[in-house]
Structure 1
């Protein structure tokens, strides 16, 4: 029986930026037993920037709010599709410490904001003591809301409900989330700068595939150990 959810939160004003890359560019950055997921022979690198609101642990009255930006790719373990995060920069020390301890995720503390300027959303982050990891992105939704159709590239990139990480003792963990289907819109970029892709050697990226989502409401489950794929 699946245990009860332990986290509740919302992701708001979320920007997906995706770049196709050769599989060999990302495979070296994954641990043994985690298989890179590809579509039409290509891997995908993603930056996801958003505001977290109403972040709380079940049974605890405290709720947190903070901006966050993640660098990630897509993987499969035992044929279950999911997400592998290379870094997560967040602007709340309690959330950073808690996620690093409970989920063993590579969270970094950053100064960050997500604001509105002249009908544009502006996300900015600066990782503590690492100015080369700064991000500054100016964006807005530019089309009607749609739900990605199963089989489409947008569905393959966004509709994932499992997150993989290396837990205590280098054991592979999987943490699942539940939320409604993404209310996607095409996004328009007025400015993009981020040093985060350089963490995996991606320093000459072209124009990304960009999407926006206003809000999804999320429940999260505790991580559980997973057998690794055989290599």
Structure 2
């Protein structure tokens, strides 16, 4: 990465929730030119809930912290594997507007909180102008911390450093991030409710594959046309 980074933050107390789906379900929700990335013939839908802490723009002396939940899948453009995000729900209006304007990402303002309750973490979000689109999940880490080995399902699902979106010029944009390898743990879920997957027409979803990560330290680069990178 030759260009300077412009964003710096941590992602904390993060929950990955994954479901395998038939590829046509998610392919219908993608724009032309974006190809699903498959694992063992299946597409994967992911819901990711976490706290963003110490979020700041390079050169700005202050930052912010806020909970966020993303709905995403995995795609590839040429040889680059990355993330396609269907929605990102967060509370601060500045973060929502800045990400929509600067990155053309589908951020939506929501009332959101991530709280510690004993051994458990409780994440809640409700969209301010679409209260039927919500998320409520209670989770905790279980088992030892591990780094997913290359070639494993966990590595394929989590080790992504690029995200794609359709920019304001109607071309495909790519933005890259850099952070250490995920310190993963298995996650236990005591309750889960979310209508966010309905945005992509997902059918009734079964028990998910769930993982937890305590923290990674992230730097982000500005978006650019995918063909220019």
Question: TM-score by structure 2 length?
Answer: 0.98
1:109 is matched with 109
The separation in 1 between residues aligned to 2:22 and 2:79, in whole angstroms, is: 21
Structure 1 window deviating more from structure 2 (176-185 vs 118-127): it is 118-127
Question: Residues 37-90 of structure 1: CA distance to partner in whole angstroms, max 9, x if unpaired?
Answer: 001110000000000001000001120100000000000001200000000000
- 1:132, distance to aligned residue in structure 2 (A): 1.3
Helix, strand or coil at the partner of 1:29: coil
Q: Which runs of 5+ in 1 are unaligned?
A: none
Q: Given that residues 78 and 227 in structure 1 are in contact (C-alpha distance below 8 angstroms), is that contact kept between their aligned partners in structure 2?
A: no
User: TM-score, normalized by length of structure 1?
Assistant: 0.97
In 1, Cα distance between equivalents of 2:124 and 2:5: 31
CA distance in 1, matches of 2:203, 2:112: 22
8 A Cα contact 1:163 1:175, kept in partner? yes
CA distance in 2, matches of 1:78, 1:66: 34
Deviation at 1:223, TM superposition (A): 0.4
- Is 1:155 aligned with 2:150? no
In the TM superposition, 1:164-179 aligns within 5 A as 164-179=164-179
Segments of 5+ residues of structure 2 without an aligned counterpart are none
Aligned counterparts of 1:2 and 1:105: Cα–Cα separation in 2: 23
CA shift for structure 1 position 169: 1.8
**How many residues align structurally?**
228
Counterpart Cα distance in 1 of 2:222 and 2:51: 22
Distance (whole Å) between structure 1 residues aligned to residue 203 and residue 116 of structure 2: 28
